[in-house]
């Protein structure tokens, strides 16, 4: 399972860096908001997709869940970069740093909850109407 997670992590980190590296080169000024905001966006999108993965797979397909959830999305999202970027923003722009922290956590939670809810609703509607769902065919 470790190889699956590591492979997924490599993919997730590469995707994140493709998005953020161009900004990092332009965002060298202290107190600049572009890179921390983009990192927050990446984390919110990753939280939403993780909600979909967890909600859609549940306890089934543990290797797929480990690859996508822990690996790809764990590599794509980044708490450590968020923390360092926000800390760097706090000195020159304390209100912006605090606002970014609050927005990141709240929108990340909301995005994950939305992803979970969408997949649970889809699973519920797929199972209604007399259909026993794909598990019945197995």
pLDDT in tens, 38-57: 999 999 999 999 999 999 99
Buried b (16+ CB within 10 A) or exposed e, 3-19: ebbeebbebbbebbeee
pLDDT for 23 beyond 70: yes
The answer to whether residue 79 scores a pLDDT higher than 70 is yes
What number is the average pLDDT over the span 110-132?
Answer: 78
Confidence label for 131 from pLDDT (cuts 50, 70 and 90): very low
Provide the total of helices (H) and of strands (E) in the chain, helices listed first: 6, 0
- CA 16 – CA 129 distance, rounded (Å): 41
């Amino acid at each position: 399972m470790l190889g699956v997670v590591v492979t997924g992590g490599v993919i997730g980190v590469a995707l994140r860096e493709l998005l953020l590296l161009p900004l990092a080169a332009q965002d060298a000024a202290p107190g600049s908001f572009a890179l921390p905001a983009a990192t927050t966006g990446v984390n919110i999108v990753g939280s939403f997709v993780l909600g979909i993965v967890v909600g859609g797979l549940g306890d089934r397909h543990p290797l797929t869940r480990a690859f996508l959830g822990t690996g790809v999305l764990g590599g794509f999202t980044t708490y450590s970069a968020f923390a360092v970027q926000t800390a760097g923003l706090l000195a020159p722009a304390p209100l912006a740093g605090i606002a970014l922290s609050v927005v990141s956590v709240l929108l990340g939670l909301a995005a994950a909850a939305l992803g979970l809810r969408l997949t649970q609703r889809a699973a519920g509607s797929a199972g209604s109407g007399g259909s026993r769902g794909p598990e019945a065919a197995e």
